């Protein structure tokens, strides 16, 4: 495997977006789950939830484009092929959820005949016609995807922590916001 | 610190889990994930099963009324209308919302009887409601759900739930339990006081000649950034009508006949609060001398059954508001929004049963 030309880290923009989105997504998951079980805080959480979801959708699009246009750092050489496959698939799942959750939320409000209010008078157009059964299905889908995202986030964080703290293979260096010149993977290859 | 951490190249070939501290680190990772999961579930109310949630309120409706699939869990029996609102421009001093600019905006609405029984017979003393969705020219919406009571019976979500339970008919006798209501009123003097106010405003004979009150206070924001507490209501132009019949849909049938005969009108009145007027307690009336601004005239000129109207599938969430109208600190507002959403989500996933009211039953 040729790693000499590969960068030690993801592009700076990708790394920044990773941590920003991580913070926003975790906040969003907590806001969402608290919102639907709360009477008193429902509205104040909902008015954050909608624009934050659209912000995440925009950030996800920028991040995907950045990822496609930049070189990716290699996995640590000690990482077995099977685990690399799992890592790649879980990454795809995360990206899919970054797009799916806001889009399903937007579609759900459209199907439910709700205005998609961002802030003040600013609102988005519906992306689906109002349709009662469709609303119910999308509403349920939104919840299922949110729990799936939470579990995928746990698996992702757990795996990276395991690599970083137990295997100590420098996997996290690929994504830390500061500059790391060389990772273990390169130096050993 | 272990030298292997500083210089990974010189790391001796030790199996990762045998490294010093590996077990502790593994435990720490597990603990971090467990704590995160715990916080997530806590935020979702998993550890507080007795907390009053939107689902719990709607469960209370279902236990009191039974489950009637496809129908609203409250205000279940209704009929849909369309029309328009013509602003006179007087509301602009209070709110920058586009609806208050002079001109006409379309609206859809729904008249209903309070309660979760979609096939209940109309009675003169049943609380009546009018819900409206105003379609603003820029695509914004203003939704409001009003009833014909001058003040609300409770001032917190918990009291609402408890009053619903206390007022429920005894399953054994089928009659309302005066003991339970009495016990509730003893604990809630604000409800007893509100009922006095309500009794001093006798109900009109039907839907068309009834006023409807939004009950909760809101805050109006004008173009200068000034925020004013406002309550609104609609005053009927229709004068007192005697009921046309007394059959099970007599209130709805009279409304259908009236709308067909000629358009019905209500004046939208904004009651302007003064500093110190209660905004967080829907049981308390504001002093009667408060300024009343007539913002415009509501005209209802068409009526159709829920079976064919798209308005059946609109959630009249009182917090769908245009820029220029904001919620007050009334705790009922967020709770209504949350509970309506829960009811909407349930009924939209259910097979629709025919409405008790059809416009065809009133001969043309």
Asked if the Cβ–Cβ distance from B43 to A30 is below 8 Å, we say yes
- Give the closest-approach CA distance of B231 to chain A in angstroms: 19
Best residue of A42, A47, A140 to probe chain B, by most B CBs closer than 10 Å: A42
Span A84-110, average pLDDT: 97
Distance, CA of A104 to CA of A143 (rounded, Å): 10
Q: How confident is the model at residue A179 (pLDDT cuts 50, 70, 90)?
A: very high
> Which is nearest to A32 in space by CA: B44, B320, B41?
B44
Query: What pLDDT score was predicted for residue B128?
Result: 97
- Token pair of B160, please? 């609402």
Which positions 151-170 of B are in contact with A (Cβ < 8 Å)?
157
Helix axes A132-161, A12-35, angle to 10 degrees: 130
Distance (Å, rounded) from C-alpha A182 to C-alpha B318? 57
Q: Which two tokens stand for residue B17?
A: 């889990």
| Residue carrying the six token digits 């300024």 | B291
CA dihedral for A180, A185, A189, B4, sign (positive or negative): positive
Determine the distance in angstroms separating the CA of B332 from the nearest CA of chain A, rounded to an integer: 8
Cα B164–Cα B49–Cα A50 angle in degrees, nearest 5: 85
Contact between B348 and A41 using a beta-carbon 8 Å cutoff: no
* Nearest chain B Cα distance for residue A96, angstroms: 22
Taking alpha carbons only, the member of B136, B143, B115 closest to residue A112 is B143
CB contact under 8 A, A130 and B313: yes
Q: How far apart are CA A186 and CA B290, in angstroms?
A: 77
The number of residues in chain A equals: 189
Mean pLDDT of chain A: 93
φ/ψ region of B140 (left if φ > 0, alpha if ψ in -120 to 50, else beta) reads beta
pLDDT at residue number A187: 41
Measured between alpha carbons, how far is A133 from B313 in angstroms, rounded to an integer? Answer: 10
User: Which of B57, B96, B338 should one mutate to test binding to chain A, selecting the residue with the greatest count of A CBs within 10 A?
Assistant: B338
pLDDT number for residue B151: 97
Mean pLDDT of A117-145: 96
First to last CA, chain A: 8
Contact assessment for residue A100 and residue A94, using Cβ atoms and an 8 Å cutoff: no
Tokens found for residue B111: 């008249």
Going by C-alpha positions, the residue among A34, A106, A113, A132 that lies closest to residue B54 is A34
pLDDT computed for residue B174 by the predictor: 62
Q: Touching check for A144 and chain B: CB below 8 Å?
A: no
What whole-number distance in Å separates Cα of residue B5 and Cα of residue B235?
Answer: 77
Q: Answer yes or no: do A187 and B320 touch at CB < 8 A.
A: no
A113 touches chain B (CB under 8 A): yes
Which has the closest alpha carbon to A141: A149, A130, A152? A149
DSSP B90-158: GGGGT---GGGSSEEEEEEEEEEESSS-TTPPP-TTS-EEEEEEEE-TTS-EEEEEEES-SS-S-SSHH
- pLDDT bin (cut points 50, 70, 90) of residue A184 is very low
pLDDT by residue (tens digit) across A45-63? 999 999 999 999 999 999 9
Cβ–Cβ pairs < 8 A, chains A and B: 136
| Contact yes or no for A140 and B349 at CB 8 A | yes
Give dist(CA B147, CA B128) in Å, integer.
Answer: 6
Q: How far A15 CA lies from chain B's nearest CA (Å)?
A: 22
What's the pLDDT score for residue B13?
54
Q: How does pLDDT run across B306-344, given as a tens digit for each residue? A: 999 999 999 999 999 999 999 999 999 999 999 999 999
Catalytic residue, from B75, B188, B201, B265: name it: B75
Assign residue B296 a region (left: φ > 0; alpha: ψ between -120 and 50; beta: otherwise).
Answer: left
Would the pLDDT of A17 be above 60? yes
Interface contact B31, partner A, CB < 8 A: no
* Cross-chain Cβ contact B348/A133 below 8 Å: yes
| Closest Cα in chain A, distance from residue B251 (Å) | 28
Q: B327 near A43, Cβ under 8 Å?
A: yes
pLDDT (0 to 100) of residue B244: 57
Residues across chain B: 364
- Out of B16, B32, B51, closest to residue A167 by CB: B16
User: What is the phi/psi pair of residue B292, to 5°?
Assistant: -115, 120
Q: Is B33 close to A166, i.e. CB distance below 8 A?
A: no
pLDDT for the residue numbered B1: 41
In chain B, whose CA is at the least distance from the CA of A131? B313
pLDDT score, position B98: 97
What is the CB neighbour count within 10 angstroms for residue A139? 22
Residue B179, pLDDT score: 84
What is the ipTM score, two decimals? 0.91
Q: What is the pLDDT of residue B19?
A: 75
Let me know if B265 is a catalytic residue: no
Q: Are A107 and A127 in contact, with CB atoms under 8 Å apart?
A: yes
Q: What angle do CA B6, B11, B13 make, to 5 degrees?
A: 160
| Cα nearest neighbour of A136 on chain B | B349
Low-confidence ranges of chain B (pLDDT < 50): 1-11
- B25 closest CB neighbour out of A40, A120, A165: A165
Tokens of B208: 């068309």
Cα–Cα distance measured from residue B43 to residue B36, given in angstroms and rounded to the nearest whole number: 11
């Amino acid at each position: 495997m040729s790693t000499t030309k590969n960068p030690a880290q993801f592009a700076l923009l990708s790394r920044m977006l990773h941590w920003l989105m991580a913070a926003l997504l975790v906040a969003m998951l907590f806001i969402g789950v608290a919102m639907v079980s709360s009477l008193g805080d429902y509205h104040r959480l909902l008015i954050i939830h909608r624009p934050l979801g659209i912000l995440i959708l925009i950030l996800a699009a920028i991040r995907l484009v950045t990822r496609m246009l930049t070189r990716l750092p290699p996995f640590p050489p000690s990482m077995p092929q099977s685990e690399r496959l799992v890592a790649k698939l879980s990454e795809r799942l995360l990206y899919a959820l970054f797009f799916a959750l806001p889009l399903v939320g937007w579609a759900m409000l459209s199907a439910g005949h709700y205005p998609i209010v961002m802030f003040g008078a600013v609102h988005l157009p519906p992306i689906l016609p109002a349709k009662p059964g469709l609303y119910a299905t999308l509403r349920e889908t939104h919840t299922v995807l949110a729990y799936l995202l939470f579990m995928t986030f746990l698996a992702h964080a757990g795996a990276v922590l395991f690599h970083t703290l137990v295997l100590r293979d420098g996997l996290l260096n690929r994504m830390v916001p500061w500059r790391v010149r060389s990772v273990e993977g390169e130096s050993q290859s | 610190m272990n030298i292997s951490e500083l210089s990974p190249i010189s790391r001796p070939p030790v199996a990762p889990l045998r490294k010093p501290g590996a077990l502790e680190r593994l435990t720490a990772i597990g603990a971090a994930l467990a704590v995160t999961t715990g916080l997530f579930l806590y935020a979702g109310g998993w550890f507080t099963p007795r907390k009053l949630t939107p689902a719990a309120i709607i469960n209370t409706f279902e236990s009191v009324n039974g489950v009637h699939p496809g129908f609203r869990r409250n205000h279940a029996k209704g009929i849909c209308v369309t029309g328009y609102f013509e602003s006179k421009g007087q509301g602009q001093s209070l709110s920058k919302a586009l609806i208050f600019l002079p001109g006409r905006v379309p609206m859809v609405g729904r008249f209903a009887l309070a309660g979760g029984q979609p096939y209940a017979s109309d009675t003169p003393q049943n609380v009546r409601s009018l819900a409206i969705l105003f379609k603003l020219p820029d695509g914004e919406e203003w939704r409001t759900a009003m009833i014909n009571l001058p003040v609300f019976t409770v001032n917190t979500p918990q009291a609402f739930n408890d009053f619903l339970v206390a007022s429920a008919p005894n399953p054994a006798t089928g009659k309302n339990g005066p003991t339970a209501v009495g016990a509730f009123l003893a604990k809630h003097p604000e409800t007893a006081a509100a009922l006095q106010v309500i009794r001093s405003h006798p109900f009109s004979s039907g839907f068309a000649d009834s006023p409807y009150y939004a009950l909760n206070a809101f805050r109006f924001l004008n173009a200068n950034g000034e925020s004013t507490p406002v309550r609104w209501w609609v005053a009927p132009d229709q004068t007192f009508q005697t009921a046309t019949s007394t059959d099970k849909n007599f209130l709805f049938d009279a409304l259908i006949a009236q709308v067909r005969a000629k358009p019905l009108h209500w004046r939208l009145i904004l009651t302007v609060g003064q500093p110190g007027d209660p905004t967080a307690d829907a049981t308390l009336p504001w002093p009667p001398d408060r300024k009343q601004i007539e913002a415009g005239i509501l005209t209802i000129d068409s009526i159709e059954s829920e079976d064919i109207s798209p308005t059946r599938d609109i959630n009249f969430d009182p917090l769908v508001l245009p820029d220029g109208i904001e919620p007050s600190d009334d705790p009922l507002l967020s709770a209504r929004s949350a509970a309506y959403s829960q009811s909407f989500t349930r009924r939209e996933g259910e097979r629709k049963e025919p409405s008790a009211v059809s416009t065809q039953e009133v001969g043309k």
